[in-house]
Structure 1
């Protein structure tokens, strides 16, 4: 047996008490009749935050308010009291007792243990956006990893990937916009000193060859002159033969030099020397360009590492979700939200949505099996009957706030609220 009792809370005047053995409890009435006050009081009773949920919990004609819950099967009594002080401030106190009167030292922990967390409202779940629905479902599922920790790792990895992607794209942009060196530009700067030395050496060689050729011509003339003189001065042959022999040797040496020597073409060296400053500027451009290419490649590899980290985390999450046991065999999740038989939650008909939401609400098998539905008017007669059937099958009590009187043939516990009291 479960008993819910609310006294002087918000719009409740006096005490409203309801007892049930499970199934649906319909709290109904017109606007401002007190049905929301009753449901809100029960909701705060099971929430450790207490007065922070409702800033003015005490009825304006009273000095204190109370919410109570008794469950004989669980041997527990939960009480929350609100008292208005002389200064007008409201103080809230939460207490948990065994039915023999023994008081628990840590009431909030007892409630958390009994309920497995906050009491779940499936009607609010239906109004959530897809991703919050997905997150709440995953917190009802036993996973082979810490979901908050893994999602924190994923967010950090995605931020790192985004940052490195921006840096890599900036580096690649620098390469794209950089001045490329001309084709054929050497990798290292050209030395002006070395070019000048080579040019001087080539010019000296050419001058030597030219002088040797001129010497050949000159010596030949001398030989002819001597031959002429020999003809005229036969008497002087003996005297001049020695000189002639020496001259012939020198002529042979000079002839060899002139015939074997090859003139070096200095055109290319002179052009290189004239263009050396431009070449060296292009060399610097090439060094800058290659540095930018290396930086862009390095940043691209860093981004690839970050991207791999994100994908590894996402794969771990996907692998964990594959083996997760959801509270309904048709439930699963995608990156965007909750799926029911592979169909996005938002595309389901109302009955499927209510069934799935109730399955999520009743997941985890807590000791205290209670579901609170604030927006009961969203449910038609068929949905109410279906929820009541599921509640009875699973041993749950469902408190439903409802302004509409149409409930079909539903067999339930009804509380009709009129002017803050049970009629």
Structure 2
């Protein structure tokens, strides 16, 4: 659906214009402040109403009381009138039938980039990406949030893993004979105590033996004394001899017992006691290494799991993009914004950005195949030729505003009217 005829009276800077445009490419020329922009604005004001007049305080020409814009399309006629601060809209079919909800009907025809495709090139990368995603019905918001969460979680886990590896590197390696559990000091002490008790018992037996020897010596001296007094002490001598014989018997038994004594060696036990703490220190180091190694293994497993999640999301996005139908070959988007032929949009040439913007505007306006371009004077002849070629190829109607008062370019507007009309 394209414009067949435009009639605009008293709209903004216009007095009265009536234009039957070329089918695909219409240039509106003239000096500045003569009404060129008002011509293009009147089309969108009639079709989009309030949405097109947000930046226009006074749609009615200064000094006039009312304004009228009539846009005749292939199948319908749109007429919007302004009087005071009120406006009315009427949409009729070619057979005269009126639409009961005219603005709703028009809103279904107009894409939001139809006002000026060049505005797409001036959007920030985020808005450009949103517009493209909306066009191809792709929304990666949820996937991007998931990917960001997985990425951040993996970063934290990898940081923990590095800290654990640093702690592990500071622990010395333990030998193979290091036990898994710490030794108990209390288990060694009874052995030490038992050995010491045996040594004390042995000492007591030696002392008893020495006492017996001492007693024997003293008995001999007494015998000698008694023998000197044999007559008088014979009875006493016999008694002492019996006592001596008894002592001798006990001494032999004691000596035999002494000969059987085994002296325990506590050297190994004392060394064992001294080594317990050293061994236990190694046991604790061994357990700490095992714990950290297990935590590192868990960290690596978690990191690998999150990495796979990120890979899966990236692959899903890649598959989705490959299946999408973009308005122009080579157009795509990534995390930063849109790309064209693999190059960030802002780094593309002016011609490439223009080509993409035109393709976006056309794709967003499959019904109302009308596009306007303000500030067309900023485009060189090659770019204007490109726009014209695309309009003809895709069967769109493009209205371009340029500054030119030669009268040789398009329809010239002068003082709010078509020059020469």
TM-score, normalised with respect to structure 1: 0.71
Paired residues in the alignment total: 395
> Is 1:122–1:358's contact at 8 Å kept on the other side of the alignment?
yes
**Aligned twin of 2:38:** 37
Whether the 8 Å CA contact 1:24–1:388 is kept in 2: the answer is yes
How far off its partner does 1:175 sit? 8.9
Gaps of 5+ in 2: 225-236
Report how far residue 123 of structure 1 moved.
Answer: 2.3
Shift of 1:401: 1.2
Q: Do 1:220 and 1:251's aligned partners in 2 also have CA atoms closer than 8 Å?
A: no
The residue that corresponds to 2:64 in the other structure is 62
1:255 shift after superposition = 4.8
Matched, 1:12 2:2: no
TM-superposed CA distance for 1:397, in Å, is: 0.7
Cα pair 2:150 2:310 within 8 Å, conserved: no
Distance in 2 (alpha carbons) for counterparts of 1:352 and 1:159: 35
Q: C-alpha root-mean-square deviation of aligned residues, in Å?
A: 5.0
Q: Which of these residues, 201, 204, 219, is aligned with residue 209 of structure 2?
A: 219
Indicate the residue corresponding to 1:398 in structure 2. 398
Select the residue among 242, 261, 266 that pairs with 1:263. 266
| Secondary structure of 1:58 counterpart | coil
Q: Deviation string for 1:115-153 (max 9, x for gaps)?
A: 455415232233445554454344433xxxx523x2243
Partner of 2:138: 147
CA distance in 1, matches of 2:61, 2:255: 137
Whole-angstrom distance in 2 between the partners of 1:364 and 1:19? 25
**Alpha-carbon offset, residue 399 of structure 1:** 0.9
Which residue of structure 2 aligns with residue 378 of structure 1?
A: 378
Question: What secondary structure does 1:54 align onto?
Answer: coil
159-168 or 398-407, larger mean C-alpha shift = 159-168
Distance in 1, Cα, partners of 2:254 & 2:356 = 117
Distance 1:62 1:317, change over 3 A: farther
Query: 1:11 deviation in Å?
Result: 1.9
Matches of 1:46 and 1:103, distance apart in 2 = 15
Asked if the contact 2:160–2:299 (Cα under 8 Å) also holds between the matched residues in 1, the reply is: no
Q: SS of 2:205's equivalent?
A: helix
Say whether the 8 Å CA contact 1:9–1:41 is kept in structure 2.
yes
For 1:271 and 1:138, locate their aligned partners in 2 and report how far apart those are by CA, in whole Å: 72
The SS at the match of 2:366 is coil
1:315 correspondence with 2:310: no
Displacement of 1:162 in angstroms is 3.2
Which residue is equivalent to 1:366? 366
**CA 1:258–1:323 in 2, change beyond 3 Å: closer, same or farther?**
same
Q: CA deviation at 1:111?
A: 2.6
Residues 257, 154 of structure 1: alpha-carbon distance in 2 compared, 3 angstrom cutoff: farther
Q: Does 1:207 align with 2:211?
A: no
Deviates more, 1:215-224 or 1:75-84: 215-224
Contact 2:111 2:361 in 1 (8 A): no
Determine the C-alpha separation between the residues in 2 that align with 1:407 and 1:360. 32
Structure 1: 5+ residue runs without aligned partners?
85-89
Normalised to the residue count of structure 2, the TM-score between the two structures is: 0.71
Distance 1:213 1:337 in 2: 96
Cα 1:61–1:120 change in 2 (3 A) is closer
Cα offset for 1:377? Answer: 0.9
Higher gyration radius (CA): 2
Q: 1:271 to 1:324 in 2, by over 3 A?
A: closer
Q: Structure 1 residues 299 and 352, CA, compared in 2 at 3 Å: closer, same or farther?
A: same
Cα distance, 1:154 vs structure 2: 0.4
CA distance in 2, matches of 1:385, 1:31: 23
Most deviating of 303-312 and 15-24: 303-312
Name 2:5's counterpart in structure 1. Answer: 3
- Note the 1:338-377 alignment, pairs <5 A: 338-363=338-363, 366-377=366-377
Looking at structure 2, the residues matched to 407 and 219 of structure 1 have their Cα atoms a distance apart, in angstroms, of 146
Larger deviation, residues 155-164 vs 364-373: 155-164
Q: SS state of the match for residue 262, structure 2?
A: helix
Picking from 104, 116, 124, the partner of 1:121 is 116
CA distance in 1: counterparts of 2:64 and 2:150, whole angstroms: 57
1:114 is paired with a residue whose SS is coil
